[in-house]
A = this chain, B = another copy of it.
Amino acid sequence: MLDATRYATLFEPVRIGPVTAPNRFYQVPHCNGMGHVRPRAEAAMRGMKAEGGWGVVCTQEVEIHPTCDLSPAAEGRIWDDRDLPYLALTTEAIHEHGSLAGMELAHNGSHAANQFTRAPALGPSHISNANGNPRQARQMDREDIRNLRRWHAEATRRALKAGFDIIYVYAGHHMTTAHQFLLPRYNDRMDEYGGSLENRVRLTRELLEDTLEICEGKAGVAFRFAVDEMLGADGMQAAEEGRGVVELLADLPDLWDVNVAGWENDSLTTRFEPQDGFQMPYIDFVKQVTEKPVVGTGRLTSPDMMLGLVSKGVLDFIGSARPSIADPFLPAKIRDGRIEEIRECIGCNICVAADNQNVPIRCTQNPTMGEEWRRGWHPETIAAKGKQDAALVVGAGPAGLECAMQLARRGYHVTLADRAAEPGGRVLAEAALPGLSAWKRVADHRIYDLQQRANVDLYMSSGLDADQVIELGIPNVFVATGARWRRDGRGRSMMTGVPIEDGAQILTPHDIFAGAKPDEGPVLIYDDDQGYLAGVLAEHLARAGHAVTFVTPASAVSPFTDYTLEQHRVQARLLELGVTLHLSHVLSHVAPGVANIACGFTGRETEVAAASALLVTERAPETALFDALKASERAFNHLELLGDALVPGLIADAVWCGHLSARNFERDPSAIEADWFRREIVDLKQEA
C-alpha cells in the first residue's frame, strides 16, 4: 500500500467556469458505439466511470442537427427534445456519484454523410465527403452559418435542460465543421470566415461566445481543439497556427481540452507509440497562453506521471479515454492507494474498433466494458460463490486467466493448470512480437491478482490429460485450451485448404512463437486471417533479416487494423522494411522453394520464390481434452469449454468469454439464457 496522500493533488477540486469538478480526473469525450442507438447502455457505462471516481465524465460526439447525421454510427444525438429523456439518463447516472457531466456537441461538416436524413452536408467549402461516400458537402453561405449557430445554441439549451454541467465546442479530429473552418485545406473561402487565421477562427469564436452566453452561471464551456495535425508543414502545427488559435481565444472558453488530429494520431496504439503521455510535447504550451484550466490526454496511466504533469503546470486535469475504459476505477484505486490493482490500458484500440464497426464498445483488459447495462456487470464487484467450493481451470491463456481470477474473486478454491512454463498463453507469444509488449499487461494484471490470493493454486508445466483431470477430483472444470493455427492453409479464400507438396517448409504462427527459424531464403506469409497477426509476424521476420513476401486476398495489409486506426501505419511499416506485397492474391499452391499465387480478380497465376511459407489462415480449436472429459464416464458437476477453444477470436473475445463463464457459474440457467436476449428496442408509439 502506498501513501494515498502522495496523490492528494490529483484529488483537488478544480473550477470550470461556474461549476467545480470534484477532482482532476477527467474522462474526455470518447465514442462507445452506444449513444442514441443504445441509450441505457450509454448511461450505465458513463455512470460507471463516475462511480469509479472520474470527476468529469463526458459523452461522445453528439449530433446537433439532421445535417450532421452520422448514421449508421451509434453516436449521440440531440436533435430535439425527444432526445432529452435518454440524455437525462446519462446525466443522472453521472450525477449520482457527484461527478460533472460534459456534453460534446458536434456538427460534422464533410465528415457527415447524412445517410439516414439525406440532408445536404455542410462544410466550409465544396468538398468531398470525408468517409469515401461519392457525395459532397456544400459550402455554407451566411444563412447556413447563422443556422449552424442557432442549432448549436438550441442544442446547448437542450443540453442544459438534460442536466449537463459542461458544454463543448468541438474543433478536433477533422470531424467537425468548426475544425474544418480552421484549416486552409478544408477552407478556401474568400469571405470573413476564410483566409487569415483570425477569419478561420471566427466561427469557433462565435460558437464559443454563443455557448458562453447561454451557459452563464449554469455550466462551464469547454473547447476541444487539436493543436497539431501531425502533418508537419502540410497541416496545422502546435508551434505555428496551433498556438495562434490558442492565443486568439486564450481566456474565452472556461476549459481547454487539447489534443492532436486526426483520430488516428490522437488515439495511437502502443504498437506505434509505446510512450505514455506522448501528446505532451504538442500541448504543453497551452497553459502558458491561457489562465483557464487545461485537460490533455495520450494514454496517461501512471499516477506519478499524472502528478508530474499537474505539478509542472502542464495540465490541470488528467484527461483520459482509453485508460478510463480499461479501468473505470482508476481514480478510486489511486485515491485508495491500490495502484497495483489498476488494469492498465494496453493501447490496442479494440475499443475504437467496436465504435468503428458501429457496435458497443469492448475492451481487451476490461471485459465488463459495455456490459454495465446489458449484463449488469461491474468491473470491481462480482457475486460470491454458490454451493460449489472448487474449480479447475485448464489453460492459463487470456480466457483461463480471466476465468480463474473471477472464480477466485467469487471465493472458489481455484486450481489453474497449464502445460506451458509461464502463464499467459497466446498473450505471451503475441506480446513478444514487435510493438506488442504492452499487451503483456493482460496476463500480468491477472497473474498478479491470482498471486495475491490464498484460494488459488497455479500449476505451470502441467499438461493434463483427461485421466489426470479426473484424478484431481475437482467437480467443476473449465477448459480453456486455446486454438492452433492450421497447417493446411484452410481459410476464407481456400476453404478446402492450399495444395502443398511434400518437402515444402510450412510454418504456422505457433512455430514462430516456439522459435522456429524459417529456412534460408524468402519467407512467404499468407494472410487469410486478415486481422493483425500476419502483419506483425511480417514485421518480426523482416526485422530478423528475412526477405519477406506478404500475400493476402485482401486489398490492403491487415485490413481489420483499419478499425483500430492502424492500417496506414502497418502497411507503411512493411513497405519501409522492404516487405514485398502481393495484395488481392490467393495462395494456390506451395512446393519446395516456390509457391503459386493467383490474382483474386483474374485468377492469373504468378510464381513466387518461397523457401518457406508461413500460413496465417484459420485456427482449429483445441478440444481434445474437453472431448475426452465429455466422453468419459465421470459426470462432472460442471464442464465447460471457453475462449479460443470454444471459438477462436480476438484476445478481447477470449477474456470476455472467460469472464462470462466465471460470472455464469452456478447461476440459474434461465437467467443465463435471458441475458443473450437483452437489447434496446424501438418505441412503436412515440411520435415520429
Contact = CB atoms under 8 A, between A and B. Distances in A.
Contact of A128 (B118, B492, B554, B678): B492
A186 interface: yes
A120 B646 contact: yes
26 contacts: A37-B682, A67-B676, A71-B358, A72-B74, A89-B684, A115-B357, A116-B359, A118-B653, A121-B647, A126-B618, A126-B620, A126-B648, A127-B495, A132-B530, A134-B529, A134-B649, A135-B647, A135-B648, A136-B647, A137-B647, A138-B646, A556-B584, A572-B602, A575-B604, A680-B682, A680-B683
Given A72-B359, A682-B681, A575 B601 contact: yes
A469 interface: no
A638 interface: no
Contacts of A357: 72, 115
A470 interface: no
B133 A560 contact: yes
Given A618-B127, A684-B86, A679 B116 contact: yes
Nearest to A376: B688
Contact of A602 (B528, B575, B620): B575
A600 B529 CA distance: 24
Given A115-B359, A555-B555, A688-B374, A649 B532 contact: no
Interface in A345-380: 354, 357-360, 362, 373-374
A409 interface: no
A186 B495 contact: yes
A80 interface: yes
A649 B135 contact: yes
Nearest to A660: B118
Nearest to A43: B684
A559 interface: yes
Interface string A603-633: 0100000000000011111000000000000
A664 to B, nearest CB: 13
Given A359-B116, A677-B80, A688-B374, A130 B36 contact: no
Nearest to A128: B492
Contact of A120 (B39, B137, B647): B647
B359 A684 contact: no
A538 to B, nearest CB: 14
A500 interface: no
A565 to B, nearest CB: 15
**Do most interface residues of chain A lie in helix, strand or loop, or is the interface mixed?**
loop
A389 to B, nearest CB: 28
Interface in A167-181: none
A317 interface: no
A341 to B, nearest CB: 26
A224 interface: no
Interface string A134-169: 111110000000000000000000000000000000
Interface of A: 36-40, 66-67, 71-72, 74, 79-80, 82-83, 85-86, 89, 115-121, 126-128, 130, 132-138, 184-186, 188, 354, 357-360, 362, 373-374, 491-492, 495-496, 528-532, 554-556, 559-560, 568, 571-572, 575-576, 583-584, 599-602, 604, 617-621, 646-650, 653, 656, 676-684, 686, 688
A66 B676 contact: yes
Nearest to A649: B135
A188 B495 CA distance: 10
Contact of A601 (B354, B568, B678): B568
Given A126-B621, A688-B40, A575 B599 contact: yes
B684 A39 contact: yes
Contacts of A618: 126-128, 136
A136 B681 contact: no
Given A583-B555, A649-B136, A677 B86 contact: no
Nearest to A529: B134
Contacts of A126: 618-621, 648
Contact of A683 (B120, B584, B649, B683): B683
Nearest 5 CB-CB pairings of A with B: A134-B531, A135-B649, A683-B683, A72-B358, A572-B601
B359 A682 contact: no
Contacts of A83: 681
A118 B532 CA distance: 20
Contacts of A36: 681-682
Among A80, A184, A647, the one with the most B-chain Cβ atoms within 10 Å of its Cβ is A647
Given A72-B358, A79-B679, A555-B555, 16 more contacts: A39-B684, A115-B354, A115-B359, A118-B653, A126-B618, A128-B492, A134-B560, A134-B650, A135-B650, A135-B653, A138-B646, A138-B647, A186-B495, A678-B688, A680-B682, A682-B682
Contacts of A601: 568, 571-572, 575
Contacts of A676: 66-67, 117, 119
B575 A656 contact: no
A551 to B, nearest CB: 15
Contacts of A188: 496
B492 A130 contact: yes
A126 to B, nearest CB: 6
